[in-house]
Amino acid sequence: MPEQVTEHNVYVGLGANLANPLTQLHSAVAALRQLPHSRLLAVSGFYGSKPMGPQDQPDYVNAVAKLATKLLPIELLDALQQIEQQHGRQRKAQRWGARTLDLDILLYANHTISSERLIVPHYGLTQREFVLYPLAEIAPQLQLPCGTSLQVLLSQVPLNGLEKLSNTCS
């Protein structure tokens, strides 16, 4: 795999609501730790959240991880999709339906990316409580590439039943 010299800080959103979501997330964190050319710097606590989208699906468990990586965005996407596959993710399943594991690139340094496979910052980032609150736990001072601060976004997005379940290593 071609390696960039520069290391970038990246935030990855984790979500699961099938097949014991807590176990899925613990296993996903272990897989993120093994990513090539990358270092796992922080993981938020795990949060229980109400499903966004169709309501006839189980509650989710969500978290956010911070990595330093030398992988290019598309290489990171490939690696994350491989981890999703290893966790039984069905890609062609219903849009906004239940999933065993979802790994989303939320932010890649201060980059704005708009390609067929990848949009960064992630389109849901600014409205999703289950992304914003875990993110704030590990990066309270964060600003988006457009300059908006995470704290301003948090003040606009209610918890909507989000509850912290555990710290990651417990």
Active site residues per annotation = 89, 99, 102, 104
Half-sphere exposure of 67 (CA within 13 A, CB side): 30
Among 63, 66, 80, 102, binds ligand ROI (CB under 6 A): 102
The least distance separating ligand ROI from the CB of residue 59, rounded to whole angstroms, comes to: 7
Give DSSP secondary structure letters for 114-140.
E-SS-EES-TTTTT-HHHHHHHHHH-T
* 145 scored as a contact of ligand ROI (CB under 6 A): no
Which residues in the 118-137 window bind ligand ROI by CB under 6 A? 130
Residue 127 and residue 157 in contact, taking contact as beta carbons nearer than 8 Å: yes
Residue 38 and residue 2 in contact, taking contact as beta carbons nearer than 8 Å: no
The least distance separating ligand ROI from the CB of residue 104, rounded to whole angstroms, comes to: 8
C-alpha–C-alpha distance, residues 41 and 61, integer Å: 20
* 15 scored as a contact of ligand ROI (CB under 6 A): yes
* 161 scored as a contact of ligand ROI (CB under 6 A): no
Residue entry with tokens 């097949």? 19
Burial 127-153 (b: 16+ CB within 10 A, else e): ebbbbbbbbbbbbeebebeeeeebeeb
Part of the chain binding ligand ROI (CB under 6 A), chosen from 48-56, 69-77, 82-90, 134-142: 48-56
Q: Is 36 helix (H, G, I), strand (E, B) or coil?
A: coil
Among 36, 96, 151, 161, binds ligand ROI (CB under 6 A): 96
Among 53, 58, 88, 161, binds ligand ROI (CB under 6 A): 53
Part of the chain binding ligand ROI (CB under 6 A), chosen from 25-33, 38-46, 51-59, 77-85: 51-59
Binding site for ligand ROI (CB under 6 A): 15, 49-53, 60, 62, 96, 102, 130
